[in-house]
Chains A and B, each alone.
Chain A
Amino acid sequence: MGKILLKRAVLFSVYAFLYIPIVVLVVLSFNQAKFSTRWDGFSLVWYARLINNSLLMEAALNSVLVAVSSSTIATLLGGLGAFSLYRYQFTAKRAYYGALYVLMISPDVVMGISLLALFSALRMPLGFGTLLLAHITLSLPFVTVVVYSRLSGFSPNVIEAARDLGASESRALRLVVLPLAAPAVLAAWLLSFTLSLDDVIISFFVTGPAFEILPLRIYSMVRLGVKPDVNALCTVMFTLSLALVFISQLLLKEERI
């Protein structure tokens, strides 16, 4: 009896630790009070202020633009990468894998400055273009791993059968592999969308003042301290990524966990 209680207490406290700050953030974003954390009545005033802030809205639009384009290209590239890892034997395959994993765990600061060094050596002006290239690089390993783990659940004989029946390699890829991998491809797209929308550190290095995006606006606001309109903005961002991730997890559900 006591043992079960103890187990529940452990589970409960970890979930409380993980979720209480978020719940507090969401609740306070609806709080009318400007300075205190005491409840002062329900209000949407901070959300209204967000919508009326044209600079913020422009940054949001820029963010969505970068996220949509970078995740589309990253999904294409990463999908092809996953397909090659699944289908072909080639030299340096292990190096390929290695690069992906190193990329996933290497600190964002390191990736940020290395891309900054590249872009400045190429004399590229910092803005949409550089941000796009950086976000594709950031999402690439995640897309590849998600798509690859779905593909590796299927027998390679499926492709061989298509080939034997006369399909060209690209036709087999389009008509056999792509439909099989479709849920994972969509999930990967959604995940890279959220990665792009949430990235602060890499974007911090590779964009200029001419092209501002939402996470960087949040970063500069957050550094100045706690404010209710920041609470509202953070709640919106949080809800958005939660929804996207939830959908992508549903898409991956059959094979995973």
Chain B
Amino acid sequence: MRLRNPTKTLAIGSFAFWLFFFVLVPNVMVAVVSLLSRDESSFVSLPFSLESYLRLSDPLYLMVFIKSLNMALVTTLVCLLAGYPFAYILARLPGRFRRVLVLLVILPFWTNSLIRTYAVALILRTNGPLNWFLVDLAGLRDTPLDLLYTGTAVVAGSVYVFLPFMILPLYAVLERMDPAYVEAGRDLGAGWLDVFFRITVPLSMPGILAGCLLVFLPALGLFYIPDVLGGARDLFIGNFIKNQFLDARDWPFGAAGSVVLTGLMGVLLLIYYRGMRRLGEKVL
């Protein structure tokens, strides 16, 4: 039998096959594993049980989730507060110069974030450049700051790694925004704060939503940033999942953590989707 359009079949088929076999199937498998029991020799075995999920509700593990959510939230807020004014100013710059500056924001995204995390550790350590600046050069402090291996360092590292994800969607929206709206508001006698909160912010809402999503989601699954900058003192969801899979060898427990993480993300995506719809933006 000859196919009517072999190219079409091949193009759609190969791609769909890959997504099915290497994305859908593995994720369904993780969900199934989370419902199985632990087994020493083959990782998992029957019978089905909800035990892994019940164990997750232990306050010890609930704290892991709460801490991760908290860390992701703080990171997102700091990125928004730092990224918004930056994106706003960037969007109002003259053309040629602006393109180079935008490229400078994009570049870090494609470079190794582990290396950038390491660079932050280099800066923050007790006898590192930051303390050299604070103590020796500027004389702002008598003793060096012990920043490395603290929660602050983890936030600083996360902001460092995720800031471009916040800036780019904000920039995309602000650049499109017609400055006439702001001018009209000013002409009609509104103060700049009023104009900002009642014109600029609502108009840039799609960018704010997208930026927050793009920072919050990956920040929720942090993995090596706490390792390198927090000294692995605090446990986050990402580390928890890794430990269960590779160290404790308790696959159902780790899989349950992963399913909950995926579920959390699903809820966030849904909120994002509904929010964008309400703003009249097309998603997908």
Chain A residues with CB under 8 Å of chain B are 7, 10-11, 14-15, 17-22, 24-25, 28, 36-38, 77-78, 80-81, 83-84, 87-88, 90, 94, 96-99, 101-103, 105-111, 113-118, 120-121, 133, 136-137, 140, 144, 168-170, 173, 191, 194-195, 197-198, 200-201, 204-205, 215, 218-219, 222-223, 226, 230-231, 234, 237-238, 241-242, 244-246, 249, 257
Instruction: Check B7 against A173 for contact (C-beta < 8 Å).
Output: yes
Q: Chain B contacts of A238 at CB under 8 A?
A: 111-112, 115
Instruction: Check B116 against A83 for contact (C-beta < 8 Å).
Output: no
Q: Number of B interface residues, CB 8 Å?
A: 85
Instruction: Tell me whether B129 is interfacial, beta carbon within 8 Å.
Output: yes
Instruction: Check A245 against B114 for contact (C-beta < 8 Å).
Output: no
Instruction: Check B82 against A14 for contact (C-beta < 8 Å).
Output: yes
State the majority secondary structure of interface residues on B.
helix
Residues 201-226 of B contacting A (Cβ, < 8 Å)? 213-214, 217-218, 220-221, 223-224
Chain B residues with CB under 8 Å of chain A are 5-8, 10-12, 14-16, 18-19, 22-27, 29-30, 33, 43, 82-83, 85-86, 89-90, 99, 101-108, 110-123, 125, 127-129, 132, 160, 163-164, 167, 213-214, 217-218, 220-221, 223-224, 227-228, 237-238, 241-242, 245-246, 251, 254-255, 258, 261-262, 265, 269, 284
Q: Chain A contacts of B115 at CB under 8 A?
A: 25, 218, 234, 237-238
Contact of B255 among A103, A117, A245 (CB under 8 A): A117
23 A-B pairs, CB-CB below 8 angstroms? A10-B85, A81-B11, A88-B8, A90-B12, A96-B16, A98-B284, A105-B213, A107-B220, A110-B221, A120-B43, A137-B23, A169-B5, A194-B110, A194-B111, A198-B112, A204-B242, A218-B112, A222-B118, A222-B121, A226-B122, A226-B128, A230-B118, A242-B107
Closest 4 CB pairs of A and B: A107-B221, A114-B26, A81-B15, A21-B119
Instruction: Check A109 against B238 for contact (C-beta < 8 Å).
Output: yes
Complex CA–CA separation, A80 to B23 (angstroms): 18
Contact of B118 among A98, A120, A173, A234 (CB under 8 A): A234
Instruction: Check B224 against A37 for contact (C-beta < 8 Å).
Output: no
Instruction: Check B261 against A170 for contact (C-beta < 8 Å).
Output: no
Instruction: Check A231 against B122 for contact (C-beta < 8 Å).
Output: yes
Complex CA–CA separation, A38 to B119 (angstroms): 16
Closest to B92 in A: A7
Instruction: Check A109 against B118 for contact (C-beta < 8 Å).
Output: no
Contact of B214 among A102, A103, A105 (CB under 8 A): A105
Contact of B111 among A106, A222, A230, A241 (CB under 8 A): A241
Complex CA–CA separation, A24 to B15 (angstroms): 43
Complex CA–CA separation, A20 to B123 (angstroms): 9
Instruction: Check A226 against B121 for contact (C-beta < 8 Å).
Output: yes
**Nearest-CB distance from A242 to chain B (Å)?**
6
Complex CA–CA separation, A191 to B106 (angstroms): 13
Instruction: Check B7 against A200 for contact (C-beta < 8 Å).
Output: no
Q: Chain A contacts of B24 at CB under 8 A?
A: 99
Instruction: Check B163 against A169 for contact (C-beta < 8 Å).
Output: no
Instruction: Check A110 against B23 for contact (C-beta < 8 Å).
Output: no
Instruction: Check A118 against B11 for contact (C-beta < 8 Å).
Output: no
Contacts A201-B223, A219-B114, A223-B227 given: A25-B122 contact, CB under 8 Å? yes
Instruction: Check A116 against B245 for contact (C-beta < 8 Å).
Output: yes
Q: Chain A contacts of B7 at CB under 8 A?
A: 168-170, 173
Contacts A10-B89, A96-B16, A105-B214 given: A113-B255 contact, CB under 8 Å? yes
**Nearest-CB distance from B248 to chain A (Å)?**
13
Complex CA–CA separation, A217 to B284 (angstroms): 38
Closest to B87 in A: A14
Closest to B21 in A: A118
Complex CA–CA separation, A83 to B89 (angstroms): 37
Contacts A11-B90, A28-B122, A223-B228 given: A117-B29 contact, CB under 8 Å? yes
Closest to A233 in B: B115
Instruction: Check A18 against B163 for contact (C-beta < 8 Å).
Output: yes
Complex CA–CA separation, A121 to B11 (angstroms): 28
Instruction: Check B89 against A110 for contact (C-beta < 8 Å).
Output: no
Instruction: Check A110 against B119 for contact (C-beta < 8 Å).
Output: no
Contacts A24-B119, A28-B122, A219-B114 given: A115-B26 contact, CB under 8 Å? yes
Contacts A110-B262, A117-B26, A117-B30 given: A218-B223 contact, CB under 8 Å? no
Instruction: Check A22 against B119 for contact (C-beta < 8 Å).
Output: yes
